[in-house]
Amino acid sequence: MVFDFAARPPEVNSTLIYSGAGAGPLMAAAASFGSLSSELSTNAAAYESVIGELTSQWTGPSSTAMAASAQQNIEWLQTTSAQLAEAASKATASAAAYEAAFSASIPPPVVYANRAQLAVLVATNILGQNTPAIAANEAMYAEFWAQDATAMSTYAATAATTAQVTPLTEPTQSTNPGGSGAQSAAVSSSAATNGANSGANGLLSSLQGASSAAAQPADVTSELGNLYQAIQNFWGVPLISNGFNSMDVTLSWCIMMMASALGTLNHFVAGAPFGVTIGDATPLGAGLGFGTTLAGSTSGVGGATLAGMGSAGSVGGMSVPASWAPSTPATLAANESVLSGSGWTAAADEAATGTGGAPGIMPGMASAGGKSGLGLSGPRYGTKPKVMPKVLI
């Protein structure tokens, strides 16, 4: 569409060019075109370098076909980059043409002031005194008209040239269009074949596994190894291992304390003078002259007892009944050593005598080496001691 700017008054032309968006959008478009052109040019150079490096080591028909296909893309990148660079330059030229037309156009306020002045001159021209001023005003307005028309016509002509940008094209097809269909058919056929083969292979594997399971027994070693590994993992938990260690230490301490207490009790009971039954069957009861039941007797101590006390013998520094003198065990005489003339004899073994006291000294009384009434024995250390009984007269 061609505009006849000469037919329009300066008010219209000046208002149109001053009310537009200005040169800003054209400069932004030029910058975008230039940036995209530089990027495509860089990509084309890198693409060409990679293809050249690849074809230098890869030769043959496949390499030639690949290089030819890639060359089409490289050429498209280069062509598009050049077209974008041209568009950027034309956008820059259009912005420059706009700036020139804007500067050459009369500002609208000036045009409106001229028209207002003309109206005043005409209104006050009663006697024709304003005729020269009116003529000068009209001449100036004519110059405004011509200047705006020239500026707009020049801008329109320049914009018509710079606005013609070469249309961009899509890249050419570098692959076989029918290749995708052929590939899909091949994949479908391969999937069907693989499905049948997989079914047969699965059946054979199942039969082989069944025969192997029937021919070979279960691997007990493997199961034991798994059990051992599970136990190791269980004990490897810090909370469990630390808890059992604490229980072990506490139980050991309790056992040692009980053993120490039992040892102390053993020593105490072994030397205690209790637990021996006193009655007619014992030498002590017989020597003291008790009756058949000591605990149940209601009468006082008899005269026989007093007479017995008057004729008591002595063992060491202690008085004993006279009946105790010949109570030397037979085992003591049997175990006398070759020193028969000296009066020394070997101490009788506790197991042989069967008494819990010291044989030949105080029959019926528990000694440190004998059995107490509680059935506990005292410790025996070192060599058997030699004892010499004192002969009572």
Centre a 10 Å sphere on the Cβ of residue 77 and count the other Cβ atoms it contains: 21
Do 142 and 275 sit in the same domain of this protein? no
**158-177: pLDDT as tens digits:** 988 888 888 888 888 877 77
Q: What is the CATH number of the domain that holds 9?
A: 1.20.1260.20
**330-342: pLDDT as tens digits:** 444 444 444 444 4
Percent pLDDT > 70 in the chain is: 55
Cα angle value 197/201/207 (rounded, 5°):
150
pLDDT for 277: 46
The last residue of a domain, from among 162, 178, 200? 162
Is 362 inside any structural domain? yes
Is 203 inside any structural domain? no
Do 284 and 140 sit in the same domain of this protein? no
Is 196 inside any structural domain? no
Residue with tokens 């940036």, as numbered in its chain = 35
Exposure letters 336-351 (e unless 16+ CB within 10 A, then b): eeeeeeeeebebbebe
**Domain count of the fold of the chain:** 2
Is 339 inside any structural domain? yes
The last residue of a domain, from among 112, 145, 162? 162
d(CA 177, CA 132): 82
Is 308 inside any structural domain? no
d(CA 332, CA 353): 9
Work out the pLDDT band at 10, boundaries 50, 70, 90: very high
C-alpha distance from residue 20 to each of 13, 15, 16, 17, 103 (Å): 11, 9, 6, 6, 14
**93-145: pLDDT as tens digits:** 999 999 999 999 999 999 999 999 999 999 998 888 899 999 999 999 999 99
Domain that holds residue 281: 271-290+320-393
Do 148 and 283 sit in the same domain of this protein? no
Percent pLDDT > 90 in the chain is: 30
The last residue of a domain, from among 162, 191, 214? 162
Residues 6+ apart with CB under 8 A from 357: 363, 364, 365, 366, 367, 370
**225-264: pLDDT as tens digits:** 777 677 766 666 676 767 777 787 888 878 888 887 777 7
Is 363 inside any structural domain? yes
HSE, side-chain direction, 13 A CA sphere, residue 183: 6
Cα angle value 173/179/180 (rounded, 5°):
95
